[in-house]
Chain A
Amino acid sequence: MPNDLKLSRRNLLVRGGAAGAAVLLGGCDQLSQSRSVRNVLDSAEGLTQAAQRLLLSRRALAREYPESALSAHFRANGSITVNDPTYQAQVETGFADWRLKIDGLVARPTELSLAELRRLPARTQITRHDCVEGWSAIGKWTGARLGPLLQSVGLKPEARYLVFHCADTLEGDLYYESIDLIDAFHEQTILAYDMNDKPLPVPHGAPLRLRVERQLGYKMAKYVMRMEAVASLAAMRGGRGGFWEDRGYAWYAGI
């Protein structure tokens, strides 16, 4: 056929190159889905966490910015509301009946109203929120410091992680997150009830969201309803310690 004859050497090279690239990329996709390859790639997560924890003193603070640096528009990502009648009713009443439940491996399980949370030792900070997608926004956060709160409820010695159970649903699952005690007792780790000097807006997680300033945004659970102290994350939900973690993201999100 005449068309075949026109298959010049250059044409062959181009087609060969394209076919080669397709095979290569198809192979990369297969590798991406192979369990053993994923386990090998995962090993870097442990290395990153160990290296960062080594370099990062427990007390090193995330940079705090002046008011002039605040983002004019702070993007709300993930869930931007909770489709649940109880929650919507709480929004109407300014969360008057809402309680944060604190339980699990604590000496004194507690329920705290928003007013009670506001009376706890607090911290205000203007920090940069880094999304795993790559963007950043700067906001002003005021909230109860988690460290003193944990001391007042008394963590049991076997407690290793704090799990934050949230009201919002993504992909049909309730959101949840977890942090370890190093981040829990960090000075900038707060349960934020104010954003930019106003009560936390619904798209940003009203009435309460976690701020863990030395990690990425997905760690900073919104719509926090319950805080549970646990010894291990393995038995919970997908076993990887968070909504996005169960979908392949790293539990340690310092990078």
Chain B
Amino acid sequence: MPKMSESSIATPANSGTSVIYRHTLVVRITHWVNVLCLFVLLLSGLQIFNAHTTLYLGSKMDPQRAVLSMRAVRQDDGSYAGLTTVGNTTFDTTGVLGLSRGPRGQLEARGFPDWITLPSYRDLATGRRWHFFFAWAFVLNGMAYLAYALLSGHVRRDLAPTGNDLRHIGRSVWEHIRLRFPKGEEARRYNVLQKLAYLAVIFGLLPLVILTGLTMSPALDAAFPVLLDIFGGRQSARTIHFLCATGIVLFVFVHVFMVLVSGVWNNLRSMITGRYAIAAEDHHAQ
């Protein structure tokens, strides 16, 4: 296999623009497998959540320690409302959370609405099948990525922020606020906020979502009781799992937004073919 590094096929294209080889094949494949896995895991996870629409702290279902709850209630006038309680605050979320319309327009008491669960209708058994199959795919894909990223130097070379990066973090924040992105030589590398975000997801959020998922397994709790101590009990683990999923969704929103505003076709192409065009420093495209 040819060893390809970031700049090995850098070729000048039209005036002021050069094309570099940005993402290796392993990174591109594992990225898109990950997209598919996280998509299925999120939707099937919400199906599983809907089987019990309250999250707690601690080991057991203790209403005193509920931190989030969705439910349908009958109001004084006989109609129903969907309510969501976060901590001590209750929101009317009729139509979306707690109470929403099914495919034939009928109101249903359910946590998340049918357009965001897999399957759309209530079916915990099938939701679990999807979830666990894609959980395996997600873990195996993640392990392949990690092995590659650590052994090939991808983490050290492309993701670890340099001292120079960290010293100029303020400038990077300012650039992001103005949605202005580096050109020329600097555009060859991830910027420091990008590096920190990817590192936090790869080594923080994703391992955490896996470990809290495993802590919900009674068999793995018997094999590794320390999981229960780390996360403060099975119900706490379920809550943290949900928070991690929320964090991943937020990351994806920001990630997709940044892809859109920093040159969507160029970004997409680089994650499909690997090739990424860089504008010259003095040339402000767009």
Contact = CB atoms under 8 A, between A and B. Distances in A.
A198 to B, nearest CB: 19
A42 B132 CA distance: 9
B120 A135 contact: no
Contacts of B144: none
B184 to A, nearest CB: 34
A62 B115 contact: no
Nearest to A217: B218
A45 B132 contact: yes
Contacts, number: 129
Interface string B37-66: 000000100001101101000011110000
A250 B216 CA distance: 16
Nearest to B218: A130
Interface of A: 21-22, 25-26, 28-29, 32, 38, 40-45, 47-48, 52, 55-57, 60-63, 65, 69, 71-72, 75, 128, 130-138, 213-216, 244, 247-250, 254-255
B12 interface: no
A44 B136 contact: yes
Contacts of A21: 115
Contact of A52 (B52, B54, B223, B235): B223
Contacts of B114: 25
Interface of B: 43, 48-49, 51-52, 54, 59-62, 114-115, 118-121, 123-126, 128-130, 132-133, 135-136, 216-225, 228, 234-235, 238
19 contacts: A25-B114, A32-B130, A38-B129, A42-B129, A43-B133, A52-B217, A56-B219, A71-B60, A72-B62, A134-B48, A134-B49, A135-B52, A135-B54, A214-B219, A247-B125, A249-B128, A254-B219, A254-B220, A255-B217
Contacts of B234: 128, 130, 136
B223 A55 contact: yes
Given A25-B120, A28-B120, A55-B224, 10 more contacts: A26-B120, A29-B121, A43-B133, A52-B217, A56-B219, A62-B218, A62-B221, A69-B60, A136-B61, A215-B219
Consensus secondary structure, chain B interface: helix
Contacts of A132: 51, 124, 128
A41 B197 CA distance: 32
B60 A136 contact: yes
Contacts of B60: 69, 71, 128, 135-138
Nearest to A247: B125
A244 B128 CA distance: 13
B218 A41 contact: no
